[in-house]
Each structure stands twice: as C-alpha cells, then as structure tokens.
Amino acid sequence: MKIALIGSTGFIGSAVLKEALSRHHTVTAILRHPDKLKVQDKHLSIVQCDIMDANKLGLLLKGQDMVISAYNSGWSNPNIYKEFLTGSRSIQDAVRQSGVKRYFVIGGAGSLFITQGEQLVDSPEFPAVFKRGATAARDYLDILKNEKDLEWTYLSPAIEMNPTLPHQRTGKYRIGGDEPVFDSNKKSTISVEDIAVAVIDEAEHPKHVRKRFTVGY
C-alpha cells in the first residue's frame, strides 16, 4: 500500500511510520523540515511541504492509496486552536484535490463521551494545559463528520496515552466507538506502539469508514 504520512516526526506519527515500514508499506513522509526525520528505509520517501499550502500538498498526494494525518500544531503553541483547525482543513482540502479517497486522522481523546452528553475535554478534571488542543481536535471531528467526498476515519486514542507510559508493542487492543475503552481497573490506556498497530490495521482492513473509533487495553 502507498501511504502518505503527515506528522511523521511527532510522538504518534513516528510510531505509525515505524509500524507501516515494518509491514513493508511504501510511505511518503511529508514534512515542513525534512532534515528532522532521521529514518532511512528503502520503502520510505521524504518530501518537503508546508501543509498550509493545500495546492502543493494536493499535487504531492496524487497517486497515494491513503493519507494518514498525525498533524499537531504543538501543545505549547499559544495559537494551537486556530492553527490546528486551519492546518487540518488545509490537509483535508489537499486530499480532496488529490483524488485520494482514504483519509485517516489521528485525533485526540477529548471528544470521547464520559457521561451522557459530556465529553472528556469539558470535564472539570481535564488538564488545562491540553484543553485548547483537545478542543480543536474535538471541533475538527465535528467538521469532518460533514465530509461527503472522502472515505475518512478518525481515531481517538485511549485517555491515557503519553510518553510516560511503558513503550511496548503487544499488538493487542480493544475497539470502542464514541466512549473510552476501559480495562478491569477502570483505566483507559494504551501504548503509542499499539496505537500505531491499530492505525495500520485499519489502513489494511478498513472497518470504520466515515466513523470515529477509539482503542484501549
């Protein structure tokens, strides 16, 4: 499969890149600063593009089987809300222009429903430092739900999925829809490696076309 990957140097994107290459998919990593990606593989091509340039990006995406976006405008970015939405819309427009149908977005857990009508990002316990970015990811999901041309998929990770968790690839996970997947200890967790497994599993065997899903142990 030919996969265009946006965000390949990020926390999740780098794990997705590793998983895709391990399964011998052909990956085109699209970066604003290509020198930041140190991975070398015969199945990997690295190209330069600012995702805000939808026309250029659309041309680069032509001929791909699918586009995976792990785009994040930076948790410490004071303009993360606006830039995330602007960037995500630009990517979406570029995918539409390219003629590629399959568009996979790796979003956030903030849009998961923890009670009837209440999303995680709106709960009092949600960390303020992540609220703007999580709200942007939630609002982009609402935008994506109106997309009629693309065969989009949106993945929300488990609630606890961060660099402090053990790094392990078990290849196992459970799937949920709009609510978190909890384990027997009432924890919603997953490693970034297993998020990547879930992403490429869905890429190879799509089961959530024009749907959001989540995963956890």
Residue 116 belongs to a domain = yes
Instruction: Give the least confident one: 72-76, 138-142, 143-147, 173-177.
Output: 72-76
Residue 30 belongs to a domain = no
Residue 186 belongs to a domain = yes
- Residues 193 and 19: beta-carbon distance below 8 Å: yes
pTM for the structure as a whole: 0.96
Domain containing 157 — which CATH number?
A: 3.40.50.720
User: Residue 126: which pLDDT band, with cuts at 50, 70 and 90?
Assistant: very high
Range of the domain at 208: 66-216
Residue 19 belongs to a domain = no
Residue 12 belongs to a domain = no
Q: Mean per-residue pLDDT for 126-146?
A: 96
Q: Mean per-residue pLDDT for 81-104?
A: 98
- Residues 156 and 112: beta-carbon distance below 8 Å: yes
According to the model, what pLDDT value does residue 163 have?
83
Q: Mean per-residue pLDDT for 33-47?
A: 96
Residue 53 belongs to a domain = no
pLDDT at 117 over 90: no
Residue 93 belongs to a domain = yes
Question: Crossing angle, helix 54-61 and helix 80-98, to 10 degrees?
Answer: 40
pLDDT at 38 over 90: yes
According to the model, what pLDDT value does residue 32 have?
95
The pairing of beta strand 151-156 with beta strand 211-216: parallel
Residues 158-204: tens digit of each pLDDT: 999 988 888 899 999 999 999 999 999 999 999 999 999 999 999 99
Residue 37 belongs to a domain = no
| CB environment 132-154: b (16+ within 10 A), e (fewer) | bbbbbbbbbbeebeeeeebebbb
Instruction: Give the least confident one: 59-63, 77-81, 96-100.
Output: 77-81
> What is the CB neighbour count within 10 angstroms for residue 128?
6
User: Residue 75: which pLDDT band, with cuts at 50, 70 and 90?
Assistant: confident
Count of structural domains within the chain: 1
- Residues 110 and 164: beta-carbon distance below 8 Å: no
Amino acid at 54: A
User: Over the chain, what is the mean pLDDT?
Assistant: 96
Strand order in the sheet with 26-31: 44-48, 26-31, 2-6, 66-69, 102-106, 151-156, 211-216, 174-176
